[in-house]
Structures are given as C-alpha cells and as structure tokens.
Amino acid sequence: MRLQELATLVGFEVPAEAGDLEVSGVASLQEAREGDITFFGNPRYLSQLRSCKAAAVFVPVEFQEDLAPQLLKVANPSAAFAAVVAAFAPPELTPAPGIHHSAVVASSAILGSGISIGPLAVIEEHASIGAGTVIGAGCLIGREVRLGEGCLLHAGSIVRERCILGDRVILQPGAVIGSCGFGYELKDGRHHKIPQTGIVEVGSDVEIGANATVYRARFGRTVIGEGSKIDNLVQIAHNVQVGPHTIICSQVGIAGSTRVGSYVTLAGQVGLAGHLEIGDKAVIGAQSGLSKNVPAGSMVIGAPAKPMKDWKQNNFYISQLGKLFERVKELERKLGGE
C-alpha cells in the first residue's frame, strides 16, 4: 500500500512528498529490502541503519542524520513499527463458537455465550466458563474452576480444580495452573506429602507462557496480579503473591510464599528463595540468585544478588586481577623476592 494509506491506518505523520511511496512488507533493519518498512530504536544498530535498504524507517524524533530511506520521525519507533506489523499480518484465526464432538463437557458445567471448546478438551463438573472464551484442543478445565470472559487457552493447557482466572487471560500451550505445591515432611525415613488444599487466582489480562507452572497454595491462594506477563518455563511455587503488571522472563523460579510487588521485572533464569519480599518496580538482572528481600525501585544482579552498581564495579576489579598479578610479580623481581 502507499505510505500515506498506511499512516492513516495506524496513525503516524508522513512528509507530503513521501505519501505515494509504496510499502509492501515489514522487516528488521538488517534484513529489510526495497519496499519494506522497518524501525530504528537502539543506537547500537546505527551502522545497520546507515546501510539499510528499506523504503522507510521509523526513527526517534531527535534523529538528525540524512539517510537514503524515508525517515519517519515518531516518539516511539518500536510501538509505531508494531502497529504497522499488525496491519500487514494475516487475520487471526478465531475458532467458531461451539463444542467439538470429541470434547467431554460435564452436564453441570456452566457455559457462557459464544465460547469455543476444541477437540478432546475436558470440562469437569461445576466448572464455569465466561462468554467468548476459547478452550483449545486437549485442554483440561477441572472441577469448580471459574474462567472469566474472553480468555484464550491454547492446546494442552490445564487449569486444575477450584482455580480462578479473570477476564482475557491467555494460557500458552502446556501451561499448568493449580498443580500441587512441592511440600513434604520427612518422617520415619520417608517423605510424606503435605496436602495442598488452596487454589490459584489469576487476575485479568494476564498471559502465562508455554510449559509454565503455577502451584496451588498449601492453603489460601497463590496469586498472579492483573496485567502480569509470565514467559515460558517459569516455575511459581505455592502461596507466592505476584503483584499487578509484573514481568517474569523465561526459566525464572520463585520458591514458596515469596511476595513479588507490582511492576517488577525478573529477567531470565532468576531464582528467588522462599518467604522473600520484592518491592514494587524492582529490577532483578538475569541469572541472579536472591536470598534476601529487595527494596522497592532497586536494581540488583548476581548470585548472591548485589546492587547493580556494586556488581559492575566488582566485575571490573575481577577483570583487572591478571594485570595486578603481573605487576606484583614484577615488583617482587625488582625487590629480589622469589
């Protein structure tokens, strides 16, 4: 389509002389070819921008260089590009409302209007499913589960008995909500399972990634706050409380009864011990190991985790140890030492 048509569709301004420029696709800076549109949002990719062959590029408002592609100055290049990608994407495949003939639905289940239940899905007794929710192939919705409106459960996801999901929750394939907490007592030389009688409550607009697991509480609730986004292969233990709008990246593990605040970021492979308090808007760097509370607004990294500034300084000192060793050896030689 013409650049002006695209701008009108997704909402950005185009110089008058560039309105008739033809745009046929989207691509990264490095892969863009004639007719593509792309974006530049990180200074480290400036060399790629300078050699980019795209027809047009979203750049920050303050960008000053004069380059061959048509530069489109916007406040947020990444967001503008995301809107364009959506415009070029094929329509999403939305399952038609209805229940597949191979699904097993208990007669006591309460089904809202316009829901879709896929092949081999199982809806157990007294489960409640809100209007417009989509249950993918092979999903299991346990006894007395409550699902809100407009949820999307991809194939093979499981919500076990009595757990609660708010509206517009997305479960990626293989996600498990409400599996038993990992609790045992050692008695007479054997591990005896501790009953896990609580539930999981997931707020509205939460997305939980593929093969992520959220344990049910030993008693009470494990809670995932509204708007939080959880990546693939995350493990959240019993009675954990995750605040609203928190980001939890892949392979994070959170031990039991830890409380994570709102707008927190847990980067990949972070490990949190049990019974901790992570304050609002804290950022925990990748592969960090936490055994102590983290105050609100902190940035920590490492194992054990330290303030980001201290961690960077310590790493610098470690990188200088080889040079320091050589200097000490040279001083010993000059002073006649061995």
The CATH number covering residue 33 comes to 3.40.1390.10
Instruction: Round to whole Å and give the CA distance between 123 and 109.
Output: 7
Is residue 32 located within the same domain as residue 116? no
Q: Is 322 a member of any domain?
A: no
Instruction: Round to whole Å and give the CA distance between 302 and 291.
Output: 11
Whether pLDDT at 267 is above 80? yes
Q: Given the structure tokens 């947020």, which residue do they identify?
A: 76
Is residue 157 located within the same domain as residue 281? yes
pLDDT range class, residue 198, cuts 50, 70, 90: very high
**CATH label of the domain that carries residue 120:** 2.160.10.10
State the catalytic residue, choosing from 100, 191, 238, 245: 238
Range of the domain at 19: 3-88
The number of C-alpha atoms within 13 Å of 266 and in the hemisphere containing its C-beta is 32
Is residue 42 located within the same domain as residue 189? no
Is residue 163 located within the same domain as residue 81? no
pLDDT for 337: 60
Domain count for the chain, please give it: 2
Is residue 26 located within the same domain as residue 107? no
Is residue 60 located within the same domain as residue 121? no
Is 238 assigned a catalytic role? yes
Is residue 62 located within the same domain as residue 140? no
Q: Is 318 a member of any domain?
A: no
Q: Is 317 a member of any domain?
A: no
Instruction: Round to whole Å and give the CA distance between 307 and 256.
Output: 24
Instruction: Please tell me what DSSP assigns to residue 2.
Output: B
pLDDT range class, residue 93, cuts 50, 70, 90: confident
pLDDT for 1: 85
Domain's final residue, options 70, 88, 106: 88
Q: Is 226 a member of any domain?
A: yes
Identify the weakest region by mean pLDDT among 74-83, 133-142, 251-260.
74-83
Mean pLDDT of the chain: 95
Is residue 8 located within the same domain as residue 32? yes
Is residue 15 located within the same domain as residue 154? no
For the stretch 299-308, contacts whose Cβ atoms lie closer than 8 Å and that sit 24 or more positions apart, written own/partner, are 303/271
Is residue 55 located within the same domain as residue 194? no
Question: Considering the entire predicted model, what is its pTM?
Answer: 0.87
